[in-house]
Amino acid sequence: MEIKPVHKASCHCGAVVLELTMPNGLEDPRRCTCSMCRKRGAIAASVLLENLRIVQGEENLTLYQFNTMTAKHYFCKTCGIYTHHQRRSNPHQFAINVACLEGVNPYELEPVKIVDGIAHPSDK
């Protein structure tokens, strides 16, 4: 599996296409225990806000927020796939859905660390 310094990602139907600048490869791949992450089951990795560019389909993204309304979770309106979110714990970063990366099989990353999103640092 090759992670390119500039990598494309897309939702299932292809309506949303992202370009990610990842000079250090996958940074901080993880699963989270918060209610949202548990239900979607995605492996997330981090990129700086300026390192994510929506190439196609911005109008096809829908936003979901809950609890503190801080994190911004984006999904394709057509196929429902979670593509990325602006992080609550670090609002200067997006977390990207590793499974959306072209040519990447997230199962090859196992085991992936699990972070405690239930006891979120912002809640202390």
| Domain-embedded: residue 38 | yes
| Domain-embedded: residue 76 | yes
Task: Report pLDDT for 32.
Answer: 86
Q: Quick check: 110 pLDDT over 70?
A: yes
pLDDT in tens, 66-96: 989 999 999 999 999 999 999 998 999 999 9
* pLDDT category of residue 36 using cuts at 50, 70 and 90: confident
Domain count, the chain: 1
* pLDDT category of residue 118 using cuts at 50, 70 and 90: confident
Q: Report which residue type is found at 72.
A: K
| Full domain range(s) for residue 53 | 6-115
| Domain-embedded: residue 87 | yes
Q: Quick check: 33 pLDDT over 90?
A: no
Q: How many CA atoms lie within 13 A of 30 on its CB side?
A: 13
| Domain-embedded: residue 121 | no
Q: Are 85 and 73 in contact (CB under 8 A)?
A: yes
Task: Report pLDDT for 113.
Answer: 80
| Domain-embedded: residue 41 | yes
| Domain-embedded: residue 75 | yes
| Domain-embedded: residue 23 | yes
| Domain-embedded: residue 124 | no
Closest among 90, 9, 99, 113 to 54, alpha carbons compared: 9
Residue 109's CATH number: 2.170.150.70
Task: Report pLDDT for 75.
Answer: 97
